[in-house]
Amino acid sequence: MQETPRANRLHIGLFGKRNSGKSSLINALTNQEVALVSDIAGTTTDPVYKAMEIHGIGPCVFIDTAGLDDEGELGALRIQQTMRAMDRTDIALLVCTGDDIEKELEWSRLLKEKNIPVIWILNKADLLTDVTSTIRSIEKKCGQVPLGVSACTKQGMEDIRRSLIAKLPDETMSRGIVGKLVEEGDTVMLVMPQDIQAPKGRLILPQVQTIRELLDRKCLVMSCTTGQIDRMLQALVHPPKLIITDSQVFKTVYEKKPFASKLTSFSVLFAQYKGDIDYFIEGANAIGRLTENSRVLIAEACTHAPLTEDIGRVKIPNMLRKKFGSGLLIEHVSGTDFPEDLSKYDLIIHCGACMFNRKYVLSRVEQARKQNIPMTNYGVTIAYLAGILDKIDY
């Protein structure tokens, strides 16, 4: 893996009217021609995601969105896509070119409702006759001093970079995947069944990312398949500090693990890394209230074709129907498909979301929370069904 996955990058969204210079601003900030620029209003249609490395910020993704003032039936669809991009945005750059900002103020309120930090940008400042007066007028209306910049001359790009750094989330993935479960020098044992979802020659993304983080934290990393657990434990002088397993073999590993070793799974780790682990643990309690007449939504981040051993489409549904009856209704969504109205569901079970950034996962959690729908995660669900949810660590 040569680059930081997009899901692990800070997402910076640019919002503004058509021809406010959002695409030009991205090009100026990155010193590259990464976004299509045109004098024709509405050049940017669907949101464009561009992964970059910015000094002081690190790996990030710029989201270039359609104009907030887009018109017509097609324009309404473009604005809808911009709204969806907002759910992925960690920090927003709200771009205007003058003090007529009624439309921008509407979007500012929407961003704040989603707890997204907003940086106001007065672009094309080099074309204004009285920049100071315009800045004061905007400040009076929005309550924030906009940064006067010019994408054309690259004036103010350093100011934007500093403002972005100042608004970096306090916990921008800083706790990492394994959180506080390990320290430097700890031995960590990984149990990774190699099935149809991890074909010969590769590991799945959560495993790769976890191994890399453990190596960065100077842990001793040992890996084995399910059938080699006993031999691995016998080969170790001391029990491992932590065992991380594929959720599908949670119960098997729990029955074999040393008493002194902590136990978790890749999916559970990603539940706390990308989502709201406390809400997911709480949501798992709703599993016990399911009946044969209940309706469950299983949400996958990936859009792969269903496999015969698929955990979300085969294994978890089989576990649930075995416990609650074959009549249990289970629906699936994948990728960015996610219903606006969740009221018909008794429970939502989400994958580990290694393909989504944390902001996007939390937007789904908040959507479920507002509609009072319990939500949990693959690994948490399997641990609950195995009767060991209170025995795992995260």
- Among 237, 268, 299, identify where a domain stops: 268
Residue 311 near residue 248 (C-beta atoms within 8 A)? yes
282 in the same domain as 262: no
Rg of the chain on CA atoms, in Å: 24
Tell me what pLDDT residue 38 has. Answer: 46
Per residue in 210-220, pLDDT tens?
A: 999 999 999 99
**Shortest CA distance to 119 belongs to which of 159, 61, 80?**
159
CA-based torsion, 115, 119, 120, 121: positive or negative: negative
Answer whether residue 224 is part of any domain. Answer: yes
Answer whether residue 306 is part of any domain. Answer: yes
Answer whether residue 1 is part of any domain. Answer: no
Tell me what pLDDT residue 333 has. Answer: 95
Structure tokens at 72: 């017509």
282 in the same domain as 386: yes
pLDDT at 98 over 50: yes
* Higher per-residue confidence, 354 vs 159: 159
Find the range with the poorest average confidence among 40-44, 190-194, 336-340, 387-391. 40-44
Answer whether residue 179 is part of any domain. Answer: no
Answer whether residue 294 is part of any domain. Answer: yes
Tell me what pLDDT residue 73 has. Answer: 83
pLDDT at 46 over 80: no
**What is the chain's length?**
394
Residue 219 domain boundaries: 187-268
CA 36/CA 292 separation, integer angstroms: 53
Torsion angles phi and psi, residue 262, rounded to 5: -80, 155
**Cα within 13 Å of Cα(280), Cβ side:** 29
126 in the same domain as 14: yes
Provide mean pLDDT across the span 303-311. 66
CA 196 to chain centre: 25
Tell me what pLDDT residue 168 has. Answer: 85
Residue type, position 132, single letter: T
* Higher per-residue confidence, 348 vs 29: 348
CATH of the domain at 353: 3.40.50.11410
Per residue in 240-251, pLDDT tens?
A: 999 999 999 999
- Among 136, 166, 196, identify where a domain stops: 166
Structure tokens at 163: 């403002």
pLDDT at 159 over 50: yes
pLDDT at 263 over 50: yes
Answer whether residue 136 is part of any domain. Answer: yes
Q: HEC profile for the chain?
A: CCCCCHHHCEEEEEEECCCCCHHHHHHHHHCCCCCCCCCCCCCCCCCEEEEEEECCCEEEEEEECCCCCCCHHHHHHHHHHHHHHHCCCCEEEEEECCCCCHHHHHHHHHHHHCCCCEEEEECCHHHCCCHHHHHHHHHHHHCCCCEECECCCCECHHHHHHHHHHCCCCCCCCCCCCCCCCCCCCEEEEECCCCCCCCCCCCCHHHHHHHHHHHHCCCEEEEECHHHHHHHHHHCCCCCCEEEECHHHHHHHHHHCCCCCEEEEHHHHHHHHHCCHHHHHHHHHHHHHCCCCCEEEEEECCCCCCCCCCHHHHHHHHHHHHHHCCCCEEEEEECCCCCCCCCCCCEEEECCCCCCCHHHHHHHHHHHHHCCCCEEEHHHHHHHHCCCHHHCCC
Provide mean pLDDT across the span 129-149. 96
Tell me what pLDDT residue 346 has. Answer: 98
- Among 137, 166, 195, identify where a domain stops: 166
Confidence of residue 8 (pLDDT cuts 50, 70, 90): confident
Tell me what pLDDT residue 53 has. Answer: 85
Provide mean pLDDT across the span 232-257. 96
101 in the same domain as 51: yes
39 in the same domain as 133: yes
Work out the mean pLDDT of the chain and round it to a whole number: 90
CATH of the domain at 124: 3.40.50.300
Count of other CB atoms within 10 angstroms of residue 78: 22
Provide mean pLDDT across the span 372-376. 98
Provide mean pLDDT across the span 265-282. 94
**Shortest CA distance to 332 belongs to which of 315, 323, 322, 324?**
315
Provide mean pLDDT across the span 85-102. 95
200 in the same domain as 74: no
129 in the same domain as 13: yes
Into how many domains does the chain fold? 3
* Higher per-residue confidence, 126 vs 197: 126
Q: Give the bridge partners for 53, in sequence order.
A: 59
289 in the same domain as 259: no
Tell me what pLDDT residue 40 has. Answer: 45
256 in the same domain as 288: no
Tell me what pLDDT residue 308 has. Answer: 57
pLDDT cut 70: percent of the chain above it? 91
Tell me what pLDDT residue 172 has. Answer: 44
Answer whether residue 327 is part of any domain. Answer: yes
Cα–Cα distance list, 191 to 234, 243, 247, 248, 249 (Å): 15, 7, 10, 10, 9
204 in the same domain as 103: no
Confidence of residue 133 (pLDDT cuts 50, 70, 90): very high
Structure tokens at 185: 């020098």
